[in-house]
Structure 1
């Protein structure tokens, strides 16, 4: 055998020996990794549900899309469920009827202090915050042929649609309009249903509280001429003084109907989870959401504010330990008394 052949034989021998030595090590490491993955998923449900709101509203689009993103990324079965909105979602999560939900700060404050209209006297303490969503503007829409162009022009006794019973809109908008001196008849229903009633002349106005653009309003614009009504400075000030809302401007680019920005009031929304859900599950769901804002914005445009810097807008709901762990690992501080113990 030539020297060249001998060297070639030795090379083959060394490669074969290395493979025989490292193969069990690789298999062993894979087994350890698999076992760790199993341990990390201890207690995870095989499927989950997200409480949203009625079809035609932002909650349904946002929540269903988010559920699909998390389910796809984590290899679980999950989806959004039509509900009565933020107030009912708090009760559903608290009672473990759904794993996750979407809510606003006003109803959350009421629920955690035992003042929920759905369950007076019951403190809903199995509700934890996950991540900030967006601000919910309170905006009013009427048909253009109604000649209603301002809140003060809403006629006495007008029939106003306030969304699903128990929703943020239904809970706060009637009280806001009463504070502003509006006399009205109240109507509840899903946003798509109310939009149809507005077109058919069965109601005079819809008072929306939903993330923008509101699908039902965008659809109305396609089908008919509408007025999107803003608050005057005085009306804003009165609402802010009496309710847990703040100033908000709807950009003119939101709707084709708007020629100028529209000044209204708003309330922050947060995603919530059952406090007893596994820490690792909530950590992963929070991580996926916070690290994929581009995918969140593809679900709904309002998710541009679904970013960790906005956790500061929650001073009501304790954060789930899993969510808090992700924020702390990524340099975002949360006071210890705002983390569920």
Structure 2
């Protein structure tokens, strides 16, 4: 059963001039919308619920964040129109476009369009300090590792990365908050996070206990970059109180997505709300420091929604016509 958390700013006021964008043609606008996020305790839920609430506030359309299984499921929900908007990482997006999304093998999910760049998702490992685990090589044989919700970016890629690095493990899945509790209770040895930083579940763990945030060695980082669609990334020292220096990692870009059939004016206005005031987004989550117009070019394959492309091209981007969804 889907758990829907609606952050409603006001009653639906489609057609009103009392809200930003009220002067535009609202023909075909939905009376409400949802943003597909991920599990509670992860960055997607905090970030996605926040920007859903912001758009609802500014446009006067009831909207909120929806708890989902993460990027793979969000691609499916947005493709089918079960969610107007969603959040995905570019690896799962590519697999979904190619028809290899495990939720619906063989279905090319081409009715999900790029909306705006969000942030980079670092891959990081956390263990309790009491475990004595301070490096990937020290993870014991058969360790119980939590990889996040089934089908999430973390669950899709991190097990493969661990195997690439020679780690033998028992695979566990669950929401980030639940996995954090299991780590504290000794039911897990390690959590392998792929989420925008700071990850709420890690920040909560730091308050309650002593943790080790484990970075990759240069050799491990190079091996992962050679095998997977990720780039080098450093988790800044001020991200967590536990860190005393930047932590070496790898990352994958995240994008907001929109159902390609949504009205151009609606997606244009929603994109404008998110992208025109970065400070508001950073107040929602610090990962939004990368939610900037100049990062439009981090999408190299997914067609843009015409409404989003219009806003970006008006604000310094140069999205070519063949990268804009035509509906044909």
TM range (shorter): over 0.9
- 1:38: how far off? 7.5
Matched, 1:123 2:108: yes
- Quick one: distance in 1 between partners of 2:51 and 2:103? 26
Q: Could you tell which deviates more after superposition, 329-338 or 259-268?
A: 329-338
Q: What are the ranges of 5 or more consecutive residues in structure 2 without an aligned counterpart?
A: 1-15
Q: TM-score, normalised by structure 2?
A: 0.92
Q: Could you tell which deviates more after superposition, 310-319 or 38-47?
A: 38-47
Residue of structure 1 equivalent to 2:98: 113
- Quick one: distance in 1 between partners of 2:313 and 2:284? 26
Q: What are the ranges of 5 or more consecutive residues in structure 1 without an aligned counterpart?
A: 1-30
Residue of structure 2 equivalent to 1:24: none
Tell me the SS of whatever aligns to 2:254.
Answer: strand
Q: Which structure shows the higher helix fraction?
A: 1
- 1:290: how far off? 1.1
Residue of structure 2 equivalent to 1:10: none
**1:259 counterpart (237, 244, 247):** 244
The equivalences for 1:1-341 within 5 A come to 40-341=25-326
- 1:291: how far off? 0.6
Runs of 4+ in 1 over 4 A off after TM superposition: 36-39
Contact 2:293–2:315, Cα closer than 8 Å, also in 1: no
Larger Rg: 1
Residue of structure 2 equivalent to 1:26: none
- Quick one: distance in 2 between partners of 1:181 and 1:118? 28
- Quick one: distance in 1 between partners of 2:264 and 2:256? 15
- 1:37: how far off? 5.2
- Quick one: distance in 2 between partners of 1:316 and 1:103? 14
- Quick one: distance in 2 between partners of 1:39 and 1:103? 29
- Quick one: distance in 1 between partners of 2:253 and 2:58? 27
Contact 1:105–1:316, Cα closer than 8 Å, also in 2: no
Backbone CA RMSD of aligned residues: 1.7
Tell me the SS of whatever aligns to 1:288.
Answer: helix
- Quick one: distance in 2 between partners of 1:329 and 1:206? 42
